[in-house]
Structure 1
Amino acid sequence: MKGKLLNALGLLVGIAVGVGLLYVLISTSREPKRRRPPDLRPLAEVVTVSEQKYKAIIEGFGTIRPSGTLKVVSEVGGMIIEQGKDVAEGSLLEKGSLLFRIDNSSIVAEIEQLEAQIAAIDAQIAEIGVQSESDRNLLEVEKKVFEVIERDYERSLSLFKKKLISEQALQATEARKNEQLLSLEKRRSAISANAHKLAVLKANRRAAVATGKVKKILLTKTVLRTPYKCRVLNVDAWIYQAVQPGTVLAAIYPVDSPTEVSVPIESRHLSALFDFDKLERGRPPWKQVKLKADVFWQIFGKEQKLAGHLSRIGAQRDPNIRTMNAIIELPGPMERAMRQSSRGLLPGTFVRVAIHGRRYENVMVIPERALVTDHSIFVVKDGKLKEVRIEPLLILKTDVILPMTLSLPSGSKVVLTEVPGAFEGTMVRILEKKAKTR
Structure 2
Amino acid sequence: MGDITKRLNMEKNSNGYYKKSVLQRILSFILIVVIVFGGLSLSKYLIKTKKVAKRKKPKKIFVNVEVTKGEKVDTNYIIKGFGRIYPAKEVSIVPEVSGKVVYVNQNLIEGGFIKKGETLIKIDDTDYKIRLNKELANLNSLKEDLILEKSKRNRALKELNSAKDFIKDIDNESLYVLKREPYIKKIEENIKIAEENIKQAKLDLERTVIKAPFNCYVLKKYIDVGGYVNSGVKIADIIDADMVYVRGNITKADLKYLDINKNINAVVYNDGEKIDAKLFKLEKALDEKGLLLKVILKIDSFNPNIFLYDYVTFDLIGKELKGIVRLPERVVREDEFVWIVKDNKLHLKKIKILFEDENYVYTYDIDENSQIIVTNLSSVVEGLPVKVINRVD
Q: 1:241 to 1:58 in 2, by over 3 A?
A: farther
1:181 matched to 2:168? The reply is yes
Structure 2 CA distance for partners of 1:347 and 1:241, relative to 1, 3 Å? farther
2:115 & 2:293 partners in 1: Cα distance?
42
User: 2 CA distance for matches of 1:5 and 1:76?
Assistant: 139
Match of 1:208 among 194, 206, 212: 194
2:39 matched to which residue of 1?
A: 17
**Contact kept in structure 2, 1:51 and 1:404, CA below 8 Å:** no
Q: Deviations over 1:278-300 (max 9, x none)?
A: xxx965244xxxx7x58553xxx
- Give the alignment partner of residue 323 of structure 1, picking from 272, 282, 294: 294
Q: Assess if the C-alpha contact under 8 Å between 2:95 and 2:210 holds in 1.
A: no
Q: Tell me whether 108-117 or 203-212 shows the greater mean CA deviation.
A: 108-117
Contact 2:110–2:220 (Cα < 8 Å) also in 1: yes
Indicate the residue corresponding to 1:136 in structure 2: 157
Instruction: Tell me the matched-pair count.
Output: 331
1:262 to 237, 246, 268: 246
**Judging changes above 3 Å, is the alpha-carbon distance between structure 1 residues 24 and 398 closer, same or farther for their aligned structure 2 residues?**
farther
| Alignment correspondent of 2:101 | 81
Where structure 2 has 5 or more consecutive residues not aligned to the other structure, the ranges are 1-22, 54-66, 374-380, 387-391
Amino acid at match of 1:131: K
Note the C-alpha offset of 1:92.
5.8
TM-score when normalising by structure 2: 0.57
| Cross-structure match for 2:63 | none
Q: 1:83 Cα deviation (Å)?
A: 3.1
Shift of 1:350: 4.2
Structure 1 residues 78, 21: CA separation in 2 closer, same or farther (over 3 Å shift)? same
Shift of 1:73: 2.6
CA change 1:107–1:81 in 2 (3 A) is: same
Amino acid paired to 2:181: A
Structure 1 residues 7 and 128: alpha-carbon distance in aligned structure 2, compared to 1, 3 A threshold: closer
Q: 1:70 to 1:247 in 2, by over 3 A?
A: same
In structure 2, the residue matched to 1:190 is 177
Asked if structure 2 preserves the Cα contact closer than 8 Å seen for 1:295 and 1:352, the reply is yes
- Cα–Cα, structure 1 residues 208 and 368, in superposed 2: closer, same or farther, change >3 Å? farther
Alpha-carbon distance, 1:202 to partner: 1.5
The normalised TM-score by structure 1 is 0.53
Name the SS of the counterpart of 1:317 in structure 2.
Answer: strand
Q: Distance in 2 between matches of 1:128 and 1:236?
A: 54
Q: 1:195 to 1:22 in 2, by over 3 A?
A: farther
The amino acid across from 1:323 in the alignment is K
C-alpha contact (below 8 Å) 1:97/1:226 kept by paired residues:
yes
The answer to whether the 8 Å contact 1:61/1:350 transfers is no
Offset, 1:96: 7.2
Amino acid in the other structure paired with 1:212? I
What is the one-letter code of the residue matched to 1:402? Answer: T
Cα distance, 1:220 vs. partner?
Answer: 1.6
Report the residue type matching 1:322 in the other structure.
Answer: L
Unaligned runs of 5+ in 1: 32-47, 147-179, 298-304, 334-344, 415-426
Q: Which amino acid is 2:263 matched to?
A: P
Deviation at 1:183, TM superposition (A): 3.5
Q: Determine if contact 2:97/2:204 at 8 Å carries over to the other structure.
A: no
Q: Distance in 1 between matches of 2:121 and 2:115?
A: 15
Give the Å deviation of 1:99.
2.7
Cα drift, residue 219 of structure 1? 0.6
Q: Secondary structure at the match of 1:18?
A: helix
**Deviation per CA, 1:115-171, whole angstroms, max 9, x where unpaired?**
34424433442343233223212211221x45xxxxxxxxxxxxxxxxxxxxxxxxx
From the superposition, tell whether residues 331 and 228 of structure 1 become closer, same or farther in structure 2 (CA, over 3 Å). Answer: closer
User: Partner residue of 1:223?
Assistant: 209
**Structure 1 residue 404: Cα displacement:** 4.8
The Cα offsets for residues 88-110 of structure 1, whole Å up to 9 and x where unpaired, read as 22446688765311233443343
Query: Percent of counterpart pairs with the same letter?
Result: 14
**How many angstroms does 1:313 deviate by?**
1.2
* Deviation, structure 1 residue 346: 6.0
Give SS of 1:182's match: coil
For residues 356 and 204 of structure 2, the distance between their equivalents in structure 1, rounded to whole angstroms, comes to 59
How big is each residue's C-alpha offset from its partner over 1:60-89, in whole Å with a ceiling of 9 and x where there is no partner?
6666778x8685734422134223362322
Equivalents in 2 of 1:362, 1:91: separation in Å? 49
Match of 1:242 in 2: 229
Check conservation: 2:324, 2:363, Cα contact below 8 A.
Answer: no
**Partner of residue 60, structure 2:** none
- Check the 8 A contact 2:91/2:238 in 1, yes or no: yes
When residues 96 and 23 of structure 1 are mapped into structure 2, their CA distance, relative to the original with a 3 A threshold, is same
More helix by share: 1
Distance 1:370 1:65 in 2: 34
For 2:158, the aligned partner's letter is N
CA separation of 1:64 and 1:12: change in aligned 2, threshold 3 A: same
Secondary structure class of the residue paired with 1:206: helix
- Residue 347 of structure 1: how far off its partner (Å): 4.2
Aligned to 1:403: 364
Contact 1:260-1:329 within 8 A present in 2 as well: yes
Task: Report the Cα distance in structure 1 between the residues aligned to 2:43 and 2:86, rounded to whole angstroms.
Answer: 95
Structure 1 residue corresponding to 2:277, chosen from 311, 319, 324: 311
CA contact (8 A) 1:52 1:363 kept: yes
**SS of the residue aligned with 2:224?**
coil
Residue 51, structure 1, aligned to residue 35, structure 2: no
> SS at the partner of 1:315?
strand
- SS of the residue aligned with 1:284? coil
Distance in structure 2 (CA, Å) of the matches to 1:98 and 1:83: 9
